[in-house]
Amino acid sequence: MRGTTRKVAVAAVSAVALLAAGCGGGDGDSSDSAAAGAEGGEITIRGCNPENTLVAGNTAETCGGDVLNVLISTLVHYDPESAEPSNDIAESIETDDNQNFTVKIKQGYMFHDGTEVKAKNFVDAWNYTAFGPNGQEGSYFMSVIEGAEEVGAEDSTTEEMSGLAVVDDYTFTIKTTEKVSNLPIRLGYTAFAPQPDSFFEDPEAFGKNPVGAGPYKFDSWTENQAIVVSKFADYAGEFGGNVDQITFRIFQDSGAAYSEVVAGNLDLTDDIPTSALIDNIYQSDLPDRNAAKATSYYGYIGINPEVDKDLSNPDVRRAISMAIDRQQIVDTVYNGTYTPATGWVSPVVDGYQADVCGESCVFDPEAAKAMLEEAGGFPGDKLTLSYNADSDHKAWTEATCNSIKNTLEIDCVATPLVDFSTFLTKLSDREMKGLFRSAWVMDYPSIENYLGPIYGKGAGSNYFDYDSDEFNSLLSQAAGAEDLEEANSLYQQAEQVLAQDFPTIPLWYGESKAGWSERVDNVVITPFGRPDLRVLTVSE
């Protein structure tokens, strides 16, 4: 899910640490935070149109992910302050070899339909997500499980991965294709949520009326208007919510949402428009009701050379990169709160290495012109930079195009699409020509999450159709590494392959901001860049 420059407290947590510390459940900090302030009340927050219906295995973006984050529970929970993992539904996750895992789940966890969460609900859900004909966005995350390759074929008739087995109602086993040292850390991601038996009766209808095992249950979804959830009375976990009801009001314009917060008609927005960043206007508009936090957000430009042959030459892409004055855009559009990126991985994760991109990510007009000339020039008549208009991307995309145009004399045009759902559909259907805005917020705290899910062969977020044998081999070797240091070294080598092939253009590392009304207290921005909706309280 579906985004830095500051060192967020994301520890270098190994799978072994999770297994040892997680057996007893939560770490205390997040449960204390969730209990702070008075409970009850209703709040409204800025939402956006999900790309797909609300199915955990088919949601890889923040619009749907924000809703699912409060509807579902997974085996592992990430602390809202540090992203440190601890067990949620899992009682324990044990392995002797990082390839064969035994998962025991807690008894008494209930789905919103009144049925109990059992081991089979995980196994069945993961098999459904992995099954190729189902076309689930999260299928890539199952690829490490033995049998996923056969199950994941588009024409597969095998619906169950050989690496999953139910032992009893509260125990199941996982066998991976090779050693995966950080598998337990990954298991808090949305795609690994369990599904109730009712899901399999009609998955399409279920997605419009989802059932999870999280602290909030689904109430209603009025398309293009609002999604409403309310507190689940029988929630059995340690990470419950405070307010009684949350309404995600769907906005097509982040500026409109911000204005509603300033006027007191909306309680929370996590998208401060760039116009309010100038001279920190948002801080005076919302005194003591705003927050900014260094997070895992990473912004970049996507390119699919299979769709647009004009951009098939890596040196053309490098020339465009060197024509972008990142620092000027950061200063003028983002009021200096972002930092130009020097590679493809956020600085907040362990294993980050600086300056992987080298001179290719440094603004140098003369070098950019020379590079483009050496590459034979830009063959097209016009270059588009597409973005979704329901979030505040107009200013920076226009500034980026102007920088490219002024440096390389390429007619670059910032091109809006109506909303994120439409934008992602065009990407998925391989209809997006030219450049397109992209961003990433980590799904789990690992350098691997910035590499495999975005650039791995067949990955759900690999909208660039990037396929490198060397890159994929390094990912495989890293997954089977004996310790974190060895794994990170191999992941760093994989990132260096990206620097050679230049499939995308790094832009900047960011921070996440939020603004809220006088009715809301206890706003916490997580390292994943999203407000933790569970811990919010109503002040009146």
Angle of helix 484-501 relative to helix 469-479, nearest 10 degrees? 170
Please report the pLDDT score of residue 540 as a whole number. Answer: 66
Question: pLDDT confidence of 74, banded at 50, 70, 90?
Answer: very high
In the three-class reduction of DSSP (H, G, I as helix; E, B as strand; rest coil), residue 279 is classed as: helix
pLDDT digits (tens, 9 = 90+) for 130-166: 999 999 999 989 999 999 999 999 999 999 999 999 9
Beta 245-250 vs 42-47: how paired, if at all?
parallel
d(CA 288, CA 364): 41
What's the total number of domains in the chain? 1
Distance of CA 447 to the CA centre of its chain: 13
Please report the pLDDT score of residue 123 as a whole number. Answer: 98
Find the range with the poorest average confidence among 25-29, 167-171, 195-199, 285-289: 25-29
d(CA 63, CA 51): 7
Phi then psi for residue 454, to 5 deg, are -100, -40
Specify if 382 maps to a domain.
yes
Specify if 63 maps to a domain.
no
How far lies 397's CA from each of 98, 324, 373, 441, in Å? 44, 11, 24, 19
Give burial (CB, 10 Å; 0-12/13-18/19+) of 431: exposed
Taking residue 201's Cβ as centre, other Cβ atoms within 10 Å add up to: 9
DSSP 484: H
- The overall average pLDDT reported for the chain is 90
Average pLDDT, stretch 394-420? 96
Run of H or E including 291: strand 290-303
d(CA 48, CA 59): 13
CA-wise closest residue to 329 among 505, 519, 181: 505
Find the range with the poorest average confidence among 119-123, 314-318, 476-480: 476-480
Both tokens of 234, joined, read 């029988």
Both tokens of 7, joined, read 């060192």
DSSP 425-460: HHHHTT---SEEEEEE--SSSSGGGGTHHHHSTT-T
Taking residue 277's Cβ as centre, other Cβ atoms within 10 Å add up to: 22
pLDDT at 33 over 50: no
CATH of the domain at 445: 3.10.105.10
Question: pLDDT confidence of 6, banded at 50, 70, 90?
Answer: very low
Find the range with the poorest average confidence among 16-20, 299-303, 381-385: 16-20
Specify if 45 maps to a domain.
no
In the chain, the percentage of residues whose pLDDT exceeds 70 is 93
pLDDT at 454 over 70: yes
d(CA 348, CA 328): 23
Specify if 432 maps to a domain.
yes
CA-wise closest residue to 41 among 250, 307, 193, 230: 230
Average pLDDT, stretch 88-101? 96
Find the range with the poorest average confidence among 7-21, 235-249, 471-485: 7-21
DSSP 143-170: TTBTTHHHHHSTT----S-TTEEEEETT
Please report the pLDDT score of residue 5 as a whole number. Answer: 22
Please report the pLDDT score of residue 38 as a whole number. Answer: 59
Identify the domain containing residue 340 by its residue range.
296-511
Taking residue 376's Cβ as centre, other Cβ atoms within 10 Å add up to: 10
Question: pLDDT confidence of 519, banded at 50, 70, 90?
Answer: very high
Specify if 204 maps to a domain.
no
Please report the pLDDT score of residue 320 as a whole number. Answer: 98
Run of H or E including 45: strand 42-47
pLDDT at 35 over 90: no
Residues in Cβ contact with 406 at an 8 Å cutoff, skipping those fewer than 6 apart = none
pLDDT digits (tens, 9 = 90+) for 161-208: 999 999 999 999 999 998 888 899 999 999 999 999 999 999 999 999
Question: pLDDT confidence of 39, banded at 50, 70, 90?
Answer: confident
List, in sequence order, every residue forming a beta bridge with 93; answer none if it has no partner.
103
Both tokens of 416, joined, read 């809006």
DSSP 19: H
Q: How many CA atoms lie within 13 A of 174 on its CB side?
A: 31
Please report the pLDDT score of residue 20 as a whole number. Answer: 32
Specify if 289 maps to a domain.
no
Specify if 245 maps to a domain.
no
Beta 164-168 vs 171-175: how paired, if at all?
antiparallel
Taking residue 499's Cβ as centre, other Cβ atoms within 10 Å add up to: 17
Q: Find which of 26-30, 102-106, 423-427 is predicted with most confidence, using mean pLDDT.
A: 102-106
Specify if 500 maps to a domain.
yes
d(CA 280, CA 274): 10
Question: pLDDT confidence of 460, banded at 50, 70, 90?
Answer: confident
Run of H or E including 359: none
